[in-house]
Structure 1
Protein backbone atom coordinates (compact mmCIF):
# COMPACT_ATOMS: atom_id res chain seq x y z
CA UNK A 1 0.00 0.00 0.00
CA UNK A 2 2.87 2.38 0.73
CA UNK A 3 4.16 1.85 -2.81
CA UNK A 4 1.23 3.94 -4.10
CA UNK A 5 2.39 6.88 -2.01
CA UNK A 6 4.07 9.40 -4.32
CA UNK A 7 3.43 12.77 -2.62
CA UNK A 8 4.38 14.10 0.76
CA UNK A 9 1.94 15.72 3.17
CA UNK A 10 2.78 19.31 2.19
CA UNK A 11 2.39 18.66 -1.53
CA UNK A 12 -0.90 16.87 -0.89
CA UNK A 13 -2.19 19.81 1.17
CA UNK A 14 -1.30 22.13 -1.70
CA UNK A 15 -3.14 19.84 -4.11
CA UNK A 16 -6.27 19.90 -1.98
CA UNK A 17 -6.19 23.69 -1.77
CA UNK A 18 -5.79 23.94 -5.56
CA UNK A 19 -8.62 21.49 -6.19
CA UNK A 20 -10.91 23.56 -3.98
CA UNK A 21 -11.07 26.05 -6.87
CA UNK A 22 -13.15 23.40 -8.64
CA UNK A 23 -16.10 24.39 -6.46
CA UNK A 24 -16.45 27.71 -8.31
CA UNK A 25 -16.07 26.36 -11.84
CA UNK A 26 -19.53 24.65 -12.09
CA UNK A 27 -21.18 27.96 -11.25
CA UNK A 28 -19.31 29.58 -14.13
CA UNK A 29 -20.32 26.72 -16.40
CA UNK A 30 -23.97 27.25 -15.52
CA UNK A 31 -23.73 30.98 -16.18
CA UNK A 32 -22.10 30.32 -19.54
CA UNK A 33 -24.79 27.78 -20.47
CA UNK A 34 -27.56 30.35 -19.85
CA UNK A 35 -25.65 32.89 -22.01
CA UNK A 36 -25.04 35.40 -19.25
CA UNK A 37 -24.30 38.86 -20.65
CA UNK A 38 -21.86 39.68 -17.86
CA UNK A 39 -19.45 37.02 -19.17
CA UNK A 40 -19.34 38.22 -22.80
CA UNK A 41 -15.74 39.41 -22.33
CA UNK A 42 -14.66 35.82 -21.62
CA UNK A 43 -16.03 34.49 -24.91
CA UNK A 44 -13.43 34.00 -27.69
CA UNK A 45 -15.30 35.86 -30.43
CA UNK A 46 -14.13 37.81 -33.43
CA UNK A 47 -15.54 40.93 -35.03
CA UNK A 48 -17.14 38.88 -37.79
CA UNK A 49 -19.18 36.92 -35.20
CA UNK A 50 -21.13 40.09 -34.41
CA UNK A 51 -21.77 41.06 -38.01
CA UNK A 52 -23.84 37.97 -38.73
CA UNK A 53 -27.61 38.48 -38.64
CA UNK A 54 -28.34 35.93 -35.90
CA UNK A 55 -26.69 35.55 -32.51
CA UNK A 56 -26.38 31.79 -33.06
CA UNK A 57 -22.56 31.92 -33.42
CA UNK A 58 -22.20 33.75 -30.10
CA UNK A 59 -24.51 31.21 -28.43
CA UNK A 60 -22.35 28.39 -29.81
CA UNK A 61 -19.28 30.04 -28.32
CA UNK A 62 -21.05 30.32 -24.96
CA UNK A 63 -21.87 26.60 -25.11
CA UNK A 64 -18.27 25.75 -26.00
CA UNK A 65 -16.92 27.69 -23.01
CA UNK A 66 -19.58 26.11 -20.78
CA UNK A 67 -18.49 22.65 -21.91
CA UNK A 68 -14.86 23.57 -21.19
CA UNK A 69 -15.85 24.62 -17.67
CA UNK A 70 -17.51 21.27 -17.00
CA UNK A 71 -14.48 19.41 -18.36
CA UNK A 72 -12.33 21.44 -15.96
CA UNK A 73 -14.65 20.40 -13.11
CA UNK A 74 -14.01 16.76 -13.96
CA UNK A 75 -10.26 17.32 -13.93
CA UNK A 76 -10.45 19.15 -10.60
CA UNK A 77 -12.45 16.24 -9.17
CA UNK A 78 -9.85 13.74 -10.36
CA UNK A 79 -7.02 15.83 -8.94
CA UNK A 80 -8.87 16.30 -5.64
CA UNK A 81 -9.63 12.60 -5.29
CA UNK A 82 -5.99 11.76 -6.02
CA UNK A 83 -4.91 14.24 -3.34
CA UNK A 84 -7.40 12.80 -0.88
CA UNK A 85 -6.09 9.28 -1.51
CA UNK A 86 -2.55 10.52 -0.92
CA UNK A 87 -3.65 12.07 2.38
CA UNK A 88 -5.05 8.72 3.46
CA UNK A 89 -1.86 6.92 2.44
CA UNK A 90 0.27 9.47 4.30
CA UNK A 91 -1.81 8.96 7.45
CA UNK A 92 -1.52 5.20 7.07
CA UNK A 93 2.25 5.53 6.69
CA UNK A 94 2.43 7.71 9.81
CA UNK A 95 0.43 5.12 11.73
CA UNK A 96 2.73 2.31 10.58
CA UNK A 97 5.89 4.22 11.56
CA UNK A 98 4.64 5.18 15.03
Structure 2
Protein backbone atom coordinates (compact mmCIF):
# COMPACT_ATOMS: atom_id res chain seq x y z
CA UNK A 1 0.00 0.00 0.00
CA UNK A 2 2.89 2.35 0.66
CA UNK A 3 3.82 2.17 -3.03
CA UNK A 4 0.63 4.08 -3.89
CA UNK A 5 1.66 6.94 -1.64
CA UNK A 6 3.33 9.75 -3.59
CA UNK A 7 2.66 12.90 -1.55
CA UNK A 8 2.82 13.82 2.10
CA UNK A 9 0.00 14.77 4.44
CA UNK A 10 0.47 18.55 4.05
CA UNK A 11 0.46 18.41 0.26
CA UNK A 12 -2.62 16.16 0.33
CA UNK A 13 -4.45 18.60 2.62
CA UNK A 14 -3.46 21.50 0.38
CA UNK A 15 -4.74 19.60 -2.66
CA UNK A 16 -8.08 19.01 -0.95
CA UNK A 17 -8.52 22.67 -0.03
CA UNK A 18 -7.52 23.96 -3.47
CA UNK A 19 -9.78 21.39 -5.15
CA UNK A 20 -12.78 22.42 -3.07
CA UNK A 21 -12.19 26.07 -3.97
CA UNK A 22 -11.65 25.21 -7.65
CA UNK A 23 -14.86 23.21 -7.89
CA UNK A 24 -16.93 25.96 -6.26
CA UNK A 25 -15.39 28.74 -8.33
CA UNK A 26 -15.56 26.94 -11.67
CA UNK A 27 -19.09 25.65 -11.09
CA UNK A 28 -20.28 29.19 -10.37
CA UNK A 29 -18.45 30.53 -13.42
CA UNK A 30 -20.02 27.79 -15.55
CA UNK A 31 -23.48 28.75 -14.32
CA UNK A 32 -22.88 32.43 -14.98
CA UNK A 33 -21.59 31.72 -18.48
CA UNK A 34 -24.59 29.51 -19.24
CA UNK A 35 -27.02 32.27 -18.22
CA UNK A 36 -25.06 34.65 -20.51
CA UNK A 37 -23.96 37.10 -17.84
CA UNK A 38 -23.06 40.41 -19.44
CA UNK A 39 -20.28 41.04 -16.92
CA UNK A 40 -18.30 38.12 -18.38
CA UNK A 41 -18.41 39.34 -22.01
CA UNK A 42 -14.69 40.17 -21.88
CA UNK A 43 -13.91 36.50 -21.22
CA UNK A 44 -15.82 35.21 -24.24
CA UNK A 45 -13.47 34.60 -27.20
CA UNK A 46 -15.38 36.24 -30.05
CA UNK A 47 -14.08 38.08 -33.10
CA UNK A 48 -15.41 40.88 -35.26
CA UNK A 49 -16.65 38.25 -37.73
CA UNK A 50 -18.86 36.73 -35.04
CA UNK A 51 -20.52 40.10 -34.48
CA UNK A 52 -20.85 41.00 -38.18
CA UNK A 53 -22.32 37.65 -39.28
CA UNK A 54 -25.79 38.57 -38.13
CA UNK A 55 -25.87 41.71 -36.03
CA UNK A 56 -29.57 41.28 -35.16
CA UNK A 57 -29.14 37.82 -33.65
CA UNK A 58 -26.87 37.19 -30.65
CA UNK A 59 -26.97 33.40 -31.10
CA UNK A 60 -23.32 33.16 -32.17
CA UNK A 61 -22.19 34.99 -29.03
CA UNK A 62 -24.52 32.86 -26.89
CA UNK A 63 -22.99 29.71 -28.36
CA UNK A 64 -19.54 30.99 -27.36
CA UNK A 65 -20.84 31.73 -23.85
CA UNK A 66 -22.15 28.17 -23.62
CA UNK A 67 -18.84 26.72 -24.84
CA UNK A 68 -16.89 28.62 -22.19
CA UNK A 69 -19.43 27.45 -19.58
CA UNK A 70 -18.93 23.82 -20.61
CA UNK A 71 -15.16 24.31 -20.40
CA UNK A 72 -15.62 25.55 -16.83
CA UNK A 73 -17.62 22.43 -15.98
CA UNK A 74 -14.91 20.21 -17.46
CA UNK A 75 -12.26 22.00 -15.40
CA UNK A 76 -14.43 21.60 -12.28
CA UNK A 77 -14.65 17.87 -12.98
CA UNK A 78 -10.85 17.71 -13.20
CA UNK A 79 -10.67 19.48 -9.82
CA UNK A 80 -13.08 16.87 -8.40
CA UNK A 81 -10.72 14.14 -9.59
CA UNK A 82 -7.68 15.91 -8.09
CA UNK A 83 -9.60 16.38 -4.83
CA UNK A 84 -10.47 12.68 -4.66
CA UNK A 85 -6.86 11.78 -5.39
CA UNK A 86 -5.68 14.13 -2.63
CA UNK A 87 -8.25 12.67 -0.24
CA UNK A 88 -7.00 9.16 -0.97
CA UNK A 89 -3.43 10.30 -0.35
CA UNK A 90 -4.44 11.84 2.99
CA UNK A 91 -6.11 8.58 4.00
CA UNK A 92 -3.04 6.56 2.99
CA UNK A 93 -0.84 8.90 5.02
CA UNK A 94 -3.09 8.41 8.07
CA UNK A 95 -3.02 4.64 7.53
CA UNK A 96 0.78 4.58 7.32
CA UNK A 97 1.05 6.74 10.44
CA UNK A 98 -1.22 4.32 12.29
CA UNK A 99 0.74 1.27 11.09
CA UNK A 100 4.07 2.76 12.25
CA UNK A 101 2.89 2.99 15.85
TM-score band w.r.t. shorter chain: over 0.9
Q: CA deviation at 1:19?
A: 0.8
- Match of 2:33, SS state, is helix
Task: Show structure 1 runs of 4+ deviating over 4 A.
Answer: none
User: How far did 1:51 drift?
Assistant: 1.5
Instruction: Give the TM-score of the pair, scaled to structure 1.
Output: 0.93
Any idea what SS the aligned residue of 1:7 has? coil
Q: CA deviation at 1:17?
A: 2.5
- Whether 2:49 is the aligned partner of 1:43: answer no
Whole-angstrom distance in 2 between the partners of 1:16 and 1:80: 5
Counterpart position of 1:5: 5
Paired residues in the alignment total 98
Post-superposition offset of 1:50:
1.3
1:9 is displaced (CA, Å) by 1.3
Unaligned runs of 5+ in 1: none
RMSD (Å), alpha carbons: 1.1
Task: Give the match for residue 24 of structure 1.
Answer: 25
2:63 to 60, 63, 85: 60
In structure 1, C-alpha distance between the alignment counterparts of 2:39 and 2:53, rounded to whole Å: 21
Q: CA separation in 1, counterparts of 2:29 and 2:39?
A: 11
Moved more, 11-20 or 78-87: 11-20
Q: Could you tell me which of 85, 89, 97 is aligned with 1:86?
A: 89
